[in-house]
Amino acid sequence: MSLKNVQFTVAAHIAAVLGDHYGEDVTSARLAGSVNAEPTFVRRSVAKLSKAGIVTATRGKHGACRLARPPEEISLLDIYRASEAPATFNIHDYPIQEACPTSRHLKDSMTDVLEDAQSGFEARLAARTLASLVERIRCQEA
């Protein structure tokens, strides 16, 4: 059974909306509507982006969000790290079966492989900006 974690994609969605409306205030209700997710989940994501210095947010009845810096200066890795999503690749935590050599050694053997894959994933995110994501979305709409 595969578990899906959407923290990063929700954070990227929020940042993309704010990037598309760079320089404007965007309400959390509008963000929640765009993501089509529970407002509390969206607010938690906004709080993480704010803590990381990617978003500024004001609270209250007239509260709103905006990007703290231009989309060209925000990498997708910045957003990924801010989202606090778990690592993309993890080793299972099933108990080791001592009678099986594969079971005894798989976890140690896979650690380097998975760390290398995670590093490659993060390097690709670092090479892409929020601006490039917003532009890609705009091209899809055209």
**Averaged pLDDT, 94-115:** 92
**Averaged pLDDT, 14-30:** 95
Residue 1 lies in a domain: no
Look up the CATH number of the domain holding residue 32.
1.10.10.10
**Averaged pLDDT, 89-103:** 89
Going by C-beta distance under 8 Å and a sequence separation of 6 or more, which residues neighbour residue 105? none
Band the pLDDT of 60: cuts 50, 70, 90: confident
Q: What is the pLDDT of residue 1?
A: 41
**How far, in Å, are 8, 12, 99 from residue 90 at the CA level?**
16, 22, 23
pLDDT surpasses 80 at 61: no
Band the pLDDT of 128: cuts 50, 70, 90: very high
Helices and strands in the chain: count of H runs, count of E runs: 6, 2
Residue 2 lies in a domain: no
pLDDT surpasses 90 at 47: yes
Domain of residue 81: give its range.
7-141
